[in-house]
Amino acid sequence: MESLGVLLTLPMNPYLEAELHRRCHLFRLWESPPARRKDFLRANAPSIRAVVGNAFVGADAETIDALPRLEIVASYSVGLDKVDLARCRERGIRVTYTPDVLTDDAADLAIGLSIATLRRLFDANRYVRAGSWKAKGDYKLTSRFSGKTVGLLGLGRIGLAVAKRAEAFGCPICYHSRTRKPNVNYKYFPSVLELAANCDVLIVACSLTEETRRIINRGVINTLGPKGVLVNIGRGPHVDEPELISALVEGRLGAAALDVYEHEPDVPEELFRLENVVLTPHVGSATWETRKAMADLVLGNLEAHVLNKPLLTPFL
Amino acid sequence: MRLSGLPIPEPSKFSLPVLKTRQPLRRFAPAPAMMSVEKPAAETPAVEREHLPPVLLLRPLLSHFHDALAPKFRFLKPWESPLPRDEFLAAHAGDVRALLCVGPFPVDAGLLACLPKLELVVTGSAGVNHIDVAECRRRGIAVTNAGNAFTDDVADYAVALLIDVLRQISAADRYVRRGLWPIQGDYPLGRKLGGKRVGIVGLGSIGSAVAKRLEAFGCTILYYSRSRKPSISYKFFSNVTNLAAESDVLVIACALTTETYHIINKEVMQALGRDGIIINVGRGALVDENELVKCLMEEEIGGAGLDVFENEPAVPQELFHMDNVVLSHHRAVFTPESFHGVLEVVLGNLEAFFSNRPLLTPISE
């Protein structure tokens, strides 16, 4: 696919970048300074037929409009909130993503974050590394994870994988999603508020759409309550972040584990001081194994497109 | 009170003299009232208390433990007496039939010799390595432990430590809190948990609970135990080094005895290899700690998650700067549920004993 002009929006993976460079005609968006970006796009638009974006920089309306020859957006992510799907539909542009290959990592992280938050693992680490264990005994009790009710917001691939893992800890599972899922034994709640009222740990694992923007709002947070735990492995904009912070500070929400934020990579500093949070820098799929699999999927989709074969993981 | 999570010892596994740990007594800062030499005010009138069955304590109990048990038992508290312990015991504990130890205070042959009528030692821990079990057996003294009260919490903790090491949760959290994400970019990639081969060292109740959880993450479970378990489908290894050679992760969840002292040694670590990870929720002395530190510093193993150490509360400082190491101060069982659970087991065992009913959680002979 040497003739395929591919616009890579960010340096997201050395292997992916090397392969795209080797096998396609690669344009690196970040090599042009932001102020000159429009010119960069205009200059190269005749050659660019594919965009590879990720969860940070995808293909928004402006980018799509600047690329009249764009045929396919192959996202290095499973979330497509940074791709203007409506525009793609209008133009008949294909969109692929990376489902399944990162399901395990995201689910593993959700459980790891849940236990780490309830058991205050970060705090324990900090305590020992500060040399505090020599100085004083610490009999602070933390909350058990096993047997806690896990509420899933979104029961797609990732939600189901989280549920399967949580079940091994004896956790009752409940969920809310757009529609009730058939063939699923978990208790369904028709609203996120009812979900929050009936679970101990609420895990956000749905896609970001206009309907789910700030779905975790003050009401949900207050309902989850002073003993409740919020785990966000979805997207930052799922949560009303300022509201979350004040709830954590005031104790209206027990604890939170966040892998995503409204304005990554900027994380509100008020969170840094809190003991009842765990903060990770969007590492939901950040393992060697999975990122390589995601890269191979992107490359495979592009190749299929060029060869006029069925796309491996089409969304549109 | 420090309670440690270990599986219930298997039948006839501990016929050897039990290793006594030298862990310093780690207690809450003693409230002066508990350490005074005057007799404390009784919760119940002295006359009524006399009818309660006497139970010897060696150290003060945490208040919620004490409050739950004091109405039912008359505690003998040697530390409140001006007499040296052995004299106190000779004077007051000659008839005592039950000893309650909560915390790793040694119950050794010397102590047992002062208690000619002792028939029961109740410990609030799963591990019994602080008790001379062989001597108890010789004297016909039954020993009960925490049973399964801690299983879930310790298993949860082991899984959390493993995910933390592989996915660098605590290290990445530190990165974020130092404000480095906008400056230095994405955190380096971690490693996937699914598909990892996890070798459980000691497949007792905690080891089994860890196995069950990790299977749901797509791990392959292997195990070492003193003998193969007939109803278990996981691959069995009779040798820990061989187990390590076929594992990506070792989870240490066995009891500490003279046989298992330093069972994780240099040979095992080398067999585990450069990417291997060790998770220890058993006892510090199960691992050759000096060797572990050396292997980590020389990158001969890939990482470690440790809740226990050989000389608590001392933790080798070389570990403090390693991002592939997760450290915790022996608190895998520190949940209200575990504390409540062990209190129930302790109370249940004492009540059963004094009413001549079968003990709830005797360790096997």
Q: Is pLDDT of A135 > 70?
A: no
- Measured in angstroms, the CA of B235 and the nearest CA of chain A are apart by 20
* Ranges in chain B, pLDDT < 70: 1-49, 365
Asked if A282's CB is within 8 angstroms of B193's CB, the reply is no
Token representation of residue B18: 């039990």
- Phi/psi for B352 (5° steps) reads -60, -45
pTM of the model: 0.89
For residue A87, the one-letter residue type is R
- Give the nearest partner residue to B327 out of A111, A125, A146, using CB atoms: A125
- Phi/psi for B353 (5° steps) reads -60, -50
- Chain B, 316 to 355: residues with Cβ < 8 Å from chain A are 317, 320, 326-329, 331, 334-339
Is there a catalytic annotation at residue B226?
A: no
Local structure of residue B232 (DSSP, 8 states): -
Residues of B in contact with A289 (CB under 8 A): 191-192, 195
> pLDDT tens across A57-75, in order?
999 999 999 999 999 999 9
Cα–Cα dist B192/B163, whole Å: 9
Kindly provide the ipTM of the predicted complex, given to two decimals: 0.94
Residues of B in contact with A291 (CB under 8 A): 189
Neighbours of A167 (CB within 10 A): 16
Q: Which residue does chain B place closest to A293, by CA atoms?
A: B192
Residue B267's SS3 state is helix
> pLDDT tens across B162-178, in order?
999 999 999 999 999 99
Token representation of residue A20: 């795209």
What's the whole-number average pLDDT of chain A? 96
- Give the nearest partner residue to A112 out of B160, B315, B335, using CB atoms: B160
Cα–Cα dist A202/A229, whole Å: 6
- Measured in angstroms, the CA of A232 and the nearest CA of chain B are apart by 14
Cα–Cα dist B338/B321, whole Å: 31
Across the strands, what pairs with B95?
A: none
Cα–Cα dist B251/B223, whole Å: 9
Name residue, tokens 């999975």.
Answer: A290
Is there a catalytic annotation at residue B130?
A: no
Q: Is pLDDT of A151 > 90?
A: yes
Q: Which of B25, B210, B213, B317 to mutate to test the interface with A (most CBs of A within 10 A)?
A: B213
Q: Taking residues A256-272, what's their average pLDDT?
A: 97
Q: At what angle do helices A157-167 and A103-118 cross, to 10 degrees?
A: 50
Q: Which of A139, A157, A201, A272 to mutate to test the interface with B (most CBs of B within 10 A)?
A: A139
Residues of B in contact with A136 (CB under 8 A): 29
- Measured in angstroms, the CA of A299 and the nearest CA of chain B are apart by 20
- Angle, CA B190 vertex, CA B249 and CA B273 arms, to 5°: 35
- Residue B104 has a pLDDT of 77
Token representation of residue B7: 């599986």
- Measured in angstroms, the CA of B62 and the nearest CA of chain A are apart by 10
The catalytically annotated residue of B2, B283, B291, B310 is B283
Q: Taking residues A292-303, what's their average pLDDT?
A: 97
Residues of B in contact with A112 (CB under 8 A): 159-160, 163-164, 167, 169
What is the sign of the dihedral through the CA atoms of B215, B217, B220 and B224? negative
Q: Rounded to the nearest 10 degrees, how much is the dihedral formed by the CA atoms of A199, A204, A207, A213?
A: 90
Pairing of strands A72-74, B325-327: unpaired
The catalytically annotated residue of A17, A19, A282, A303 is A282
> pLDDT tens across A7-18, in order?
999 999 999 999
- Give the nearest partner residue to A265 out of B182, B312, B320, using CB atoms: B182
> Which structural domains are found in chain B, ordered by start?
11-149+335-354 (3.40.50.720), 151-327 (3.40.50.720)
- Phi/psi for B252 (5° steps) reads -95, 115
Across the strands, what pairs with A73?
A: A51, A95
Pairing of strands B277-280, B54-57: unpaired
Is there a catalytic annotation at residue B318?
A: no
- Residue B105 has a pLDDT of 86
Token representation of residue B130: 């602080």
The catalytically annotated residue of A49, A235, A238, A305 is A235
Token representation of residue A103: 């399901």
Asked if A143's CB is within 8 angstroms of B336's CB, the reply is yes
- Give the nearest partner residue to A108 out of B217, B315, B337, using CB atoms: B217
H/E/C letters for each residue in chain A?
CCCCEEEECCCCCHHHHHHHHHHCEEEEHHHCCHHHHHHHHHHHCCCEEEEECCCCCCECHHHHHCCCCCCEEECCCCCCCCECHHHHHHHCCEEECCCCCCHHHHHHHHHHHHHHHHCCHHHHHHHHHCCHHHHCCCCCCCCCCCCCCEEEECCCHHHHHHHHHHHCCCCCEEEECCCCCCCCCCEECCCHHHHHHCCCEEEECCCCCCCCCCCECHHHHHHHCCCCEEEECCCHHHECHHHHHHHHHHCCCCEEEECCCCECCECCHHHHHCCCEEECCCCCCCEHHHHHHHHHHHHHHHHHHHCCCCCCCECC
- Give the nearest partner residue to B327 out of A129, A278, A288, using CB atoms: A129
Percent of chain A with pLDDT over 90: 95
Q: Is pLDDT of A220 > 80?
A: yes
Q: Taking residues A24-43, what's their average pLDDT?
A: 93
Query: Looking at the complex, does the CB of residue B62 fall below 8 Å from at least one CB of chain A?
Result: yes
Taking CB atoms and an 8 Å cut-off, how many pairs form between chains A and B?
A: 180
Token representation of residue A145: 């994870």
Question: Residue B54 belongs to what H/E stretch?
Answer: strand B54-57
Range name among A29-38, A99-108, A130-139, B75-84 with the lowest pLDDT average: A130-139
Query: Looking at the complex, does the CB of residue B31 fall below 8 Å from at least one CB of chain A?
Result: no
Asked if A121's CB is within 8 angstroms of B169's CB, the reply is yes
For residue B294, the one-letter residue type is K
